[in-house]
């Protein structure tokens, strides 16, 4: 993962729980990086270790940590200077989600080692859609749930996000149901 992701985790923990908590997590995860450089790629394993150590430190399930972090990611990337980017990809949540693959395609020009997921939206009713998420990285469904919630907030929607286990099993990839789009 790129440093930007790890930096977001650091920022998330530091803001919510203070720098000492972050330092304990960093040490517990055996990460000797003092400052993440956003454009440098780091091993995926490092990010997973950080999440596991954060779960231990905060006494929360890893899924909860990932979900909280996903929601924070939207705010963090906007503050890191990518807010314009999101803005430019649509003025509504629907429009934004529809452009997600294009967004990832363009960003992977800048971050060549990016392994972005493939996303497809399927309208189920006027205010409900199914978001199909395919990624070669395992275990990130809670992160996506948080991320979608964060997006809902950004676009001023009271969005309900539900990771649909039955549809996921049937489709062979993660499916999320979004109410209030």
Partner 1 sequence: MLNRDHVAELFPFFFRLDDAGRLRDLGASLRKVVPDAEEGSQAEALFLVKRSALRLDPAALREHLDQLVLLESRESGVMLRGRFLEVEGRLAFFGSPWFRELAELEGRGLAFSDFALHDPMPDTLVLLQAVAASLRDTARLAERLRGLRDEAERANQAKTDFLAVMSHEIRTPLNVVLGMTELLADTPLDDDQRRYVDAVEGNSEMLLRLISNVLDVSKLEGSQLDLERAPFDPRRLVDDVVAGFGPRARAKGLALRFEADEALPTRVLGDAARTRQVLLNLLGNALKFTHAGAVAVRLSSTPVDDEHVQLRLEVEDTGIGIAEEKLGAIFDRFVQASSSTTRRFGGSGLGLHIARSLVELMGGELGVRSRVGEGTCFTLDLRLEHGDPTRDSRTVVRPPGDVPLAAPLEVLVVEDTPDNRTLMGRFLAREGCGVTLACHGAEALERLEELTPDLILMDVEMPVMDGLACAAAIREREAREGRPRVPIVALTAHALRGFRERCLEAGMDAFLTKPLQRAQLRATLHRWGPKASRLSAPARCSVGRG
Q: In the complex, which residues of this chain contact partner 1 (CB under 8 A)? A: 3-4, 7, 34-40, 80-85, 87-91, 99, 102-103, 106-107, 109-111
Angle at CA of residue 145, ends 97 and 43, nearest 5° = 95
Q: How far is the CB of 57 from partner 1 (least distance, A)?
A: 22
Q: What are phi and psi of 118, to 5 degrees?
A: -100, 135
Pick the closer one to partner 1 by CB: 23 or 170.
23
For residue 114, the minimal CB distance to partner 1 (Å) is 11
Nearest CA-CA partner of 163 in 179, 141, 136: 141
Sequential DSSP letters for 4-67: HHHHHHHHHHHHHH-HHHHHHHHHHTT---SS--TTSB--HHHHHHHHHHHHHHHTS-HHHHHH
Cβ pair 159, 152 in contact under 8 A: yes
Q: Give the C-alpha separation, 7 to 12, whole Å.
A: 8
To partner 1, the closest distance from the beta carbon of 39 in angstroms equals 4
CB of 80 to partner 1, least distance (A): 6
**Shortest distance, CB of residue 113 to partner 1, whole angstroms?**
13
- Choice between 35 and 126, CB closer to partner 1: 35
Question: Considering beta carbons, is residue 40 or 180 the nearer one to partner 1?
Answer: 40
Please identify, using beta-carbon distances, which residue of 106 and 137 lies nearer to partner 1.
106
Largest CA distance in the chain: 49
Q: Which is nearer to partner 1, 45 or 91 (CB)?
A: 91
Q: List the strands of the sheet with 118-125, edge to edge.
A: 118-125, 128-134, 174-179, 160-163
């Amino acid at each position: 993962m790129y440093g930007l992701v790890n930096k977001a985790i650091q920022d998330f923990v530091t803001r919510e729980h203070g720098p000492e908590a972050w330092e304990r997590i960093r040490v517990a995860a055996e990460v000797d990086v003092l400052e993440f450089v956003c454009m440098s790629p780091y091993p995926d394993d490092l990010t997973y270790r950080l999440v596991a150590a954060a779960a231990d430190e905060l006494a929360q399930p890893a899924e909860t940590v990932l979900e909280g972090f996903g929601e924070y990611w939207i705010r963090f990337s906007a503050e890191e200077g990518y807010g314009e980017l999101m803005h430019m990809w649509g003025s509504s949540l629907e429009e934004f989600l529809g452009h997600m693959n294009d967004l990832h395609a363009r960003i992977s020009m800048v971050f060549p080692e990016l392994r972005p997921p493939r996303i497809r939206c399927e309208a189920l009713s006027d205010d409900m859609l199914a978001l199909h998420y395919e990624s070669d990285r395992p275990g990130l469904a809670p992160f996506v749930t948080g991320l979608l919630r964060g997006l809902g907030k950004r676009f001023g929607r009271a969005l309900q996000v539900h990771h649909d286990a039955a549809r996921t099993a049937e489709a062979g990839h993660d499916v999320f149901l979004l109410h209030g789009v």
